[in-house]
Structure 1
Amino acid sequence: MLSVAYIGEFITLSLMAIALGMDAFSVGLGMGMIPLRLRRIFSIGVVVGLFHVIMPFAGIILGHFLSSHLGSIATYAGGILLLILGVQMFLSSFKDDAGPMIKPIGMGLIVFALSVSLDSFSVGLSLGMSNVRTALTLILFGAFSTILTWGGLLLGKKVRGVLGKYSEMLGGSILCSFGLQLILN
């Protein structure tokens, strides 16, 4: 039987995964404006999902190392880091972008996946400081970012970028709330 603590952690990590995937969703909305075949959309989502597993895993490993050496200060540092990331993500939603400048093929796909998963490294760093379940975190981050990327790309074919700013605002707000939760608990 699942414990209440596990269910709570699952819900928290799912919300964080959604918040981190909002970047991929919003950029996918813009990228979905260019003509892409379904096979290309599938591969873009998979690559973005892989980067949302690799980057937080590296952050979690570094976070475990730092927390073992810094103790409770690391938890506050992780909360502050999440708060800063959330504010940055929220504020970046007000910038006027013309959409993605790279094509999602070859090195352009790698650059795209890296750019939308950089914040997951920092979140992984702060999560590593709080001894989170690594496998659960990586599965949720990878799955949600893949699904949100696909959704953004497919919806981008239908919608002309209206949701992009609002999805980044929502994602930033969620990261801020979890940063505050780490700091205040």
Structure 2
Amino acid sequence: MSPVSILLIGFAMSTDAFAAAIGKGAAMRKPRFSDALRAGLIFGVIEGITPVIGWLLGRAALEYVEAFDHWIAFGLLGALGVHMIINGLRPDEGAEEDDTSRHHGFWRLAMTGFATSIDAMAVGIGLAFLDVHIGVMALVIGLCTLTMVTCGIMLGRVLGGMVGKRAEIIGGVILIIIGSTILYEHLSGAVA
């Protein structure tokens, strides 16, 4: 596989995470670059690990993971999206409190990162049957995701300032749309 193909796969695998990061950035109250970089690192590491897991699973049993990966992504992203919408509809308890870690802690970011990386796991399964060095591919996917998520959080910051303090609702809707799109693409691909 050519270096250009590997890079294109890396960016393609990071688009879901980028869209989710825009929603997260919009929901956060004035995220700093360090917040964006932290989220990028969390997403990047997870997105880099999942193709390796998929590659290992692909060596063992392709049809078992491929049969339900889209349902896992849909369920996790949908649940996180609904949770974000509910939080966005709640009245502020400490209106001027600037605590982004309360709403966007490690575990929530990790769950979102995992949910958006299910497709990278499926790609890893496919790579198990190709002549590709999985370590290089995982590194490229992780670095692309780190970059895209960091940029997405900062872009979401700008959008969040324009739409106000209820931007978390937008982030939740984005996560639900991403999950629904993943489900639709897999189901329509299975029918065709």
Output the CA distance in 2 between the equivalents of 1:13 and 1:65: 18
Deviates more, 1:22-31 or 1:131-140: 131-140
* Distance in 1 (alpha carbons) for counterparts of 2:191 and 2:138: 23
State the match for 1:80 in structure 2: 68
Query: 1:19–1:175: 8 Å Cα contact kept in structure 2?
Result: no
Structure 1 partner of 2:24: 27
Q: Which amino acid aligns with 1:125?
A: M
Matched, 1:104 2:103: no
Whole-angstrom CA distance in 2 between matches of 1:47 and 1:172: 23
| Cα drift, residue 127 of structure 1 | 2.4
Q: Distance in 1 between matches of 2:111 and 2:77?
A: 13
Unaligned runs of 5+ in 2: 93-97, 128-133
Q: How many residues align?
A: 171
TM-score (norm 1): 0.68
TM-score, normalised to structure 2's length? 0.66
Question: 2:175 is matched with which residue?
Answer: 168
Instruction: List alignment gaps of at least 5 residues for structure 1.
Output: none
SS at match of 1:130: helix
1:137–1:114 Cα change, 3 Å? same
Q: Distance in 1 between matches of 2:108 and 2:55?
A: 28
1:48 maps to 2:52: no
TM superposition shift of 1:121:
4.6
Distance 1:60 1:80, change over 3 A: same
Query: Does the aligned pair in 1 maintain the 2:13–2:141 contact within 8 Å?
Result: no
Write the letter of the residue equivalent to 1:168: L
Tell me how far 1:159 sits from its aligned partner.
0.9
CA-to-partner distance for each residue in 1:121-153, whole Å, 9 max, x for gaps?
533332221217333322322221111111112
RMSD: 3.7
Inter-partner Cα distance in structure 2 for 1:135 and 1:91 = 29
**1-structure distance, mates of 2:101, 2:79:** 29
* Partner residue in 1 for 2:149: 145
8 Å CA contact retained: 1:103, 1:109: no
Q: Find the aligned partners of 1:58 and 1:84 in 2 and give their Cα distance.
A: 17
